Structure 1
Amino acid sequence: MPWRPMTVADLPPVFTLACAIHVDFFEALEVMADKLAAYPAGCLTLETANGDISGYAVSHPYARGRVPTLNHPLGGLPADADIYYIHDIAIDTAARGQRHAEAVVELLAARARAAGFREMRLLSVNNSGTFWSRRGFGRVHDELVDVSSYGQDATYMRRFL
């Protein structure tokens, strides 16, 4: 199952997958479409041999010390974008355990480096901190970031490239 660029036609199955996986972190289809429009190079899908979507990744340039508010459009990229932000990676249950998430993290890291970024940031939710730590991310302790729209266990993390 290769990762490939996400298209507008992928949004309905990506939305369905997002609703099934992220039941506590709803984002409307229009918000997903906004992120794809804002930075298509950072939006990928994991496609099965029969053409189904079994995973997706959404990432984009953003500004250090801020996170996009959940279920709100970006409305474009910030002019002061200085980090590469991983907004979401989701893999269908049937496709887990095959290192697809690890592969897309490294693919996004390569794209971020190629675009001139020196670090990636994200919010860890759903007790995923161990996964991110194994990928070289560590908690950001020196910045106050409003993560309230993502729940109590949200952790702001970074990885230097």
Structure 2
Amino acid sequence: MPWRPMTVADLAPAFTLACAIHVDFFEALEVMTDKLAVYPAGCLTLEMPDGELSGYAVSHPYARGRVPKLNHLLGGLPADADIYYIHDIAIDAAARGRGHAETAVDLLAAHAGDAGFREVRLLSVNNSEAFWRRRGFSAVEDEHVDVTSYGLDAIYMRRIL
């Protein structure tokens, strides 16, 4: 399986990939480093057979009705963490279309369930809502969440496990 736990050595290539993919959603290397330090079990890398890093996933426990602001350090997990939050899944263009993103979602959802969470949440950006709906997510319409740092088209979504 090409997905494996992220290590500190993966941060620089993952950051380079993030900068290339998320042009409109920049986060500093320190932010990715912080998320790995705070919750390493939720960080994965997609390593291809040639050893190249072609993707990454960052996730962690968080609190219902809130989202981490873009390009801000977590500094720790909230004491009231009651949902599992997928912060980012990014796949290099050359590795897309092979089911890697779907596999990452399945791995993270399984981890969330094993960790005792019954709900996974995320923000859909870059017109990715259809992808997330196919993975069992739906828009959260009964809560107001500040998503302004992610743009006007961001959609707060959830999947019940």
Task: State the aligned residue count.
Answer: 161
Show the counterpart of 1:147. 147
TM-score (norm 1): 0.99
Question: Tell me, what secondary structure is at the counterpart of 1:20?
Answer: helix
Q: Percent identical across equivalent pairs? A: 80
Show the counterpart of 2:11. 11
Q: Which runs of 4+ in 1 moved over 4 A?
A: none
Are residue 118 (structure 1) and residue 86 (structure 2) matched? no
Cα offset, 1:76, TM superposition? 0.5
Structure 2 CA distance for aligned equivalents of residues 52 and 36 of structure 1:
19
Are residue 156 (structure 1) and residue 156 (structure 2) matched? yes
1:37-57 alpha-carbon deviations (Å, 9 max, x no partner): 010000000001121100000
| Structure 1 residues without counterparts, runs of 5 or longer | none
Show the counterpart of 1:50. 50
What letter matches 2:40 in structure 1?
P
Question: Tell me, what secondary structure is at the counterpart of 1:113?
Answer: helix
1:104-155 alpha-carbon deviations (Å, 9 max, x no partner): 1001110000000000000000000000000000000000000000001000
Show the counterpart of 1:92. 92
Show the counterpart of 2:26. 26
What letter matches 2:18 in structure 1?
A
What letter matches 2:69 in structure 1?
T
What letter matches 1:137 in structure 2?
F
Root mean square deviation of aligned Cα: 0.6
Show the counterpart of 2:37. 37
Cα offset, 1:67, TM superposition? 0.1
Matches for 1:69-108 after TM superposition, within 5 Å: 69-108=69-108
Cα offset, 1:83, TM superposition? 0.2
What letter matches 1:119 in structure 2?
E
What letter matches 1:139 in structure 2?
A
TM-score (norm 2): 0.99
